[in-house]
Structure formats: structure tokens, C-alpha cells
Amino acid sequence: MFDRFRHAVLRPTDASFFLNQTKYRALISFVFIAISAFMCIGSFSALYPGPYGWAVASVYFLTLALLAFHPVTASLFCLVVYVMLLFHPTLVAGSEEWGMFLSIAYLAFYLRRAPSVTAVVLLITMEALETYRSGMPIDYLVGTATIDLVAYLIGVLFTHEEHLSQLRLTERNQLIASDLHSAITSELSSIVLLAQSHDEHDSGGTNATLDRIKDVAQIALSNTHGLIRTLSSKDRGTACSDESTHVTDELLAYVREQDRNLQSMGFRGVVSIHVDSAPLSEDTFLLAKLCVKEIYANIARHMSKRSGEYHFGIAVTPTELAITETNPADGDPNELSSGFGLSLLRHQAEISGGTMRNGISDGMWRIDVTIPLLRLAY
């Protein structure tokens, strides 16, 4: 029951965001305690008059300290005390205005939108009743309500910043996952398939098979080292230069290399090329290589060698680069799939402004990828 209530009132938060860490909330509490203490210098008796002044002041400063450890509970308590002081004949509610400001911001940040709005509306309503009861000018209510709304908007602003931080982290994780996948999984799959091919067919070509396995393993190692260097760089996302270009012949050479690798494992297929010679930006070239590599790896992982031929096509026009692959969907595919490759490839294609579609029709598996020939926005 309590868990359902808490889930309905508290919004999910990101533990890595600074407001969700005790040390930063403690620093904020220290600043607000210092400000409140400075305001008390020379005017303590005016802010906390009467026999209960010291007790109220002690509770107020203790609440500011507790905001670092229990921000929601302490914020609600601070606002309740503030409302009680509004209607007290001698104590001054304005003495707790800094704590009220911080409490409203915390509630806007930690609570879901409906509960937080309700809390602020109730607070402004209490202030309006006190203004009417005491006969104070309406300007006083406008001023206090404005302070309440500013504090609330600051809390909402931090909520939005936390959401953006989560999106940036998710995007970075997607890029890392894609880089890890493209760096090693295709080559490791090739090693496994080459070993299987040797066990099944290569009775007299042991050295040739081992040499091929060595080459593929070396590629995987080089890719991993390159990825480590990329992840260690502070300039990730800006390393590609607009001035760095590749020609389509480099991409076609890479396609032929991947095709030779696949056919050396016992697969059979046809490559179709329709290309206008044109420069490719560094980002476009790297994404196209990633597409080619993942599509060929997907054939090796999913297509049965006995089911027929695959058909790989690549076309380059002045405006886009298109890659198409089809292969029989029946047979006995290899069990080397993690399910990550195509989803990561789709993500990379979409953030580049391109598209990726895949599916089965009439017993044929088909993948279509289009990449605009523009600089990609990593």
C-alpha cells in the first residue's frame, strides 16, 4: 500500500544527477543556513519574538539541515511550519522564507507534477487567506506568490535538466554499445564459423583455415584497440572532420572484402553494384562500412549455407547511399545471434537522417538501409 502511494507521489529520479546526491544537497543546505543566519544578525528578537522564538528558530535551522538527507519529508514539514506561522499572532512567517523557497523547489523536483502543483496551490491559498484576514495590501500576496512560483519553476527547470542528462547518457551508451558490437562481434562470429567450416569440410586445408582465423582475430583485436582509443578521447563526437573524405572505390573494396570473407566460410551469394563515383564524408563512410559489416555478419549468423544464395546490392546516387540485402529465411541458421546488431544499426541510421527497414516476405529475409549523403550529426 505504502509503496503504491510512494510511486504515485514521487517521480523516478537519476541517482547520478547532483540534486539526488546527499553531498550536494548538504552544500545547498549549508548555503541556506548561512543566509538565514546572516539575516538574523541584529534582528533575531524581531524575527523570532516571544518565549517560543528560540524553539521556532532551532526547528527551522534543524529542518534546513535535514533537507540534505530527507528532502521531501523535511520540505513538507518546513511548509507546514511556515503555514502555522502565517496565522500566529506574534511569530513572523517571513523569518523562514529562505527555507520555504528551497522546500518548494525540492517538492517541484522530487514529486510528480500533480502533487507538487497541489502543494504550491495550497500554499498560495493559505497566504491569500492570511492576507485577507490581516487586511494587508494585495501587493504583499502578489510578492509572496511570485516567490513561490519562481521557486517552483526552478525545481521544474532542474527536473528538465535531469531528463536531458538522462537522454545524453542514453545516447552515449547507445554509441558505446554500437561501437563495441561493430568492433568485435562480427569478427568473433567469423572465427566461430570458420572453425565450424574447418571441422565440417576442411580435412586437408588446416593451415589455410588457421591463417584465415588468425587474420580475422587480428582484425577484431585492431578494432578493439581503436575503440579503446576512441572511448579514451575527450573529443569523442568531434573527431570526424568535414575535410576528411573517401571515394566510393574504398567502400566497394570493403564490400568485396566482406563478401570474400563470407564466401570463404561456405556461403554463396551475388553482389550487385550501381555506383556513381563521388566523395563520401568521413561520417558517411564509417556508417556505410558499419552497415556493410553488420549485414554480412547477419547473413553469417542467420542464413543456412544450404538454403540458397544471398543477394547484396549497393547503390550510390548524388543524394543518398542505399544498401539492400536478401536471403532465404528458411533452413537451419547458426545460433550466434545476440539480437543487438540490427537494433543498434537502425539507431545509427536514424540519427544520421537515414532509414532502415527489415523483415520477411515470401520466405525471403530483406534489409534496406538508406543514408543521406550529408554530414552526420553525431
Mean pLDDT across the stretch 177-181?
A: 65
pLDDT band at 242 (very low <50, low <70, confident <90, very high): very low
Residue of 189, 219, 218 whose CA lies nearest to 303: 189
- Tell me what the mean pLDDT of segment 227-239 comes to: 51
Which distant-in-sequence residues (6+ apart) come within 8 Å of 193 by Cβ? 265, 300, 334, 336
| Per-residue pLDDT at 65 | 94
Higher model confidence: residue 134 or residue 231?
Answer: 134
CB 104 within 8 A of CB 152: yes
* pTM over 0.75, yes/no: no
pLDDT, position 275: 83
- pLDDT greater than 90 at residue 158: yes
* Range in 96-110, 117-131, 194-208 the model is least confident about: 194-208
Name the band, by pLDDT with cuts 50, 70 and 90, for residue 150. Answer: very high
262/297 Cα distance (integer angstroms): 8
d(CA 90, CA 49): 7
**How does strand 310-316 pair with strand 320-328?**
antiparallel
**pLDDT score at 34:** 92
Find the DSSP H helices in the chain.
2-9, 22-40, 44-47, 53-66, 71-86, 97-110, 113-134, 138-180, 186-201, 206-232, 248-264, 282-302, 341-351
How many whole angstroms separate alpha carbon 322 and alpha carbon 217? 29
Per-residue pLDDT band at 125 (split at 50, 70, 90): very high
What backbone phi and psi angles, to 5 degrees, belong to 147?
Answer: -60, -40
Give ranges for CATH 3.30.565.10 in the chain.
Answer: 246-378
Closest C-alpha to 189, from 291, 255, 261: 261
Whether domain 246-378 has CATH 3.30.70.890: the reply is no
CB atoms under 10 Å from CB of 107, counted, come to 25
Q: Cell 554530414, residue?
A: 375
Query: What pLDDT score does 8 carry?
Result: 80
Max intra-chain CA distance, the chain: 103
Q: What's the pLDDT tens digit per position in 32-91?
A: 999 988 887 777 777 677 677 788 888 889 999 999 999 999 999 999 988 888 887 666
Section 294-308 average pLDDT: 84
Bridge partners, 104 (sequence order): none
* Mean of pLDDT values over 339-358: 79
Q: Is the pLDDT of residue 265 over 70?
A: yes
Q: What is the pLDDT, as a whole number, of residue 28?
A: 94
Q: What mean pLDDT comes out for the span 263-287? A: 84
pLDDT at residue 374 in the model? 55
Q: Is the pLDDT of residue 205 over 60?
A: no
Give the range with max mean pLDDT: 151-165, 224-238, 335-349.
Answer: 151-165
pLDDT digits (tens, 9 = 90+) for 4-13: 767 788 888 8
Q: Which residues of 56-66 are buried (b: 16+ CB within 10 A; e: fewer)?
A: bbeebbebbeb
Confidence grade of residue 263 (pLDDT, cut at 50, 70, 90): confident
Region 245-258: mean pLDDT is 87
**Which of 99-103, 230-234, 338-342, 361-365 bottoms out in mean pLDDT, i.e. has the lowest?**
230-234
The grid coordinates of residue 209 equal: 583455415
